[in-house]
Structure 1
C-alpha cells in the first residue's frame, strides 16, 4: 500500500500502483467500470490511457486527483 493511498482514498478503492498496472491487467475485468485517480491527477490520467489502450470499456478519471476531490466535496 502506498503512502498516498494510506493518507486518503475513495471508499472501496483498490490500490494498484501505476508502475504495477500493466502486470495486473489480466486480473481485471475489462467490462467492469473503473475510476482511475492519483493524488494530483497526472498519474490517474496516464493510468486511464493504459486501460483504454488495452480495450477496457468503462474507464473514467477523477479529474484533479484525490486532493481536488477531497478539497471540494460536500459531506
Structure 2
C-alpha cells in the first residue's frame, strides 16, 4: 500500500514539474491573442491531414505532430511559431519537441481548433 502511495505522489510531482516547465517556454494564448499575432508568425496545424482537410485556420500549414521531427527544415527559428491541434495536447507536445531543437518563440491556441471561432478554410 505504501508503495502505491509513493508511486502516485511521484507521478503527480512529475506531472506538475512538466506542466510548470512547459509554461516557461510555451505561451498559451486566448483566441484574441492568437489572432493578433498569427499572421506575422509561422502558423502550424499539427493535426493529421484528414483532420486538416475537414477544416483549418485560414493560412495554416499542416505539419502533423507525427511528421514534425522529419520536417523541422520547414520551420524558421527566427520567427514566432503559432501551433494548434484539435484540443491543445498535441500542440503542447509539438512545442516540447521544438523547444528541445532550439525554437524559442512558441505559442499555442488555448482550447485548440475546436474552440476557434475565426475564419476557417
What's the TM-score once normalised by structure 1's chain length? 0.83
Residue 51, structure 1, aligned to residue 98, structure 2: yes
Q: Does 2:67 match 1:20?
A: yes
Number of the residue aligned with 1:64: 111
Long gaps (5+) in structure 1: none
**Bigger-Rg structure (1/2):** 2
Which residue among 27, 31, 35 is the counterpart of 2:78? 31
Deviations 1:27-68 (A, max 9, x none): 321111111111111101111111111111211011211001
Number of paired residues? 71
Larger strand percent:
2
Q: Distance in 2 between matches of 1:27 and 1:68?
A: 27
Could you tell me how far apart the structure 2 residues matched to 1:45 and 1:14 are? 17
5+ long unaligned stretches in structure 2: 1-47
CA distance in 2, matches of 1:65, 1:16: 15
Moved over 3 A (4+): none
> How far apart are the structure 2 equivalents of 1:8 and 1:52?
27
